[in-house]
Structure 1
Amino acid sequence: MMHADLIDQHDLLNQLRSLGFEVSGSADEACKAVVCGLNDTNVRALKGLVEKLYTGSATILPAVREAIDRHLLPGLAQFKHPSPH
Structure 2
Amino acid sequence: MMHADLIDEQDLVGQLRSLGFEVSGTAEQACTTAVCGLNETNARALKGLVEKLYTGSATILPAVREAIDRQLLPGLAQFKQSKVG
Global fold match (TM > 0.5): yes
> TM-score, length-normalised on structure 1?
0.93
d(CA) in 2 for partners of 1:37, 1:46: 12
In the alignment, what sits opposite 1:3? 3
Matched, 1:34 2:37: no
d(CA) in 2 for partners of 1:56, 1:31: 19
d(CA) in 2 for partners of 1:36, 1:12: 17
> TM-score, length-normalised on structure 2?
0.93
d(CA) in 1 for partners of 2:25, 2:37: 16
In the alignment, what sits opposite 1:23? 23
Among the aligned pairs, what percent are the same residue? 80
d(CA) in 2 for partners of 1:35, 1:42: 9
In the alignment, what sits opposite 1:78? 78
In the alignment, what sits opposite 1:63? 63
Q: Which runs of 5+ in 1 are unaligned?
A: none
d(CA) in 2 for partners of 1:2, 1:21: 33
Summarize deviations over 1:41-64 as a string: whole Å, max 9, x none.
Answer: 100000000000000000000000
Runs of 4+ displaced beyond 6 Å: none
Matched, 1:47 2:34: no
Shift of 1:37: 2.3
d(CA) in 2 for partners of 1:37, 1:60: 26
Q: Which amino acid aligns with 1:20?
A: G
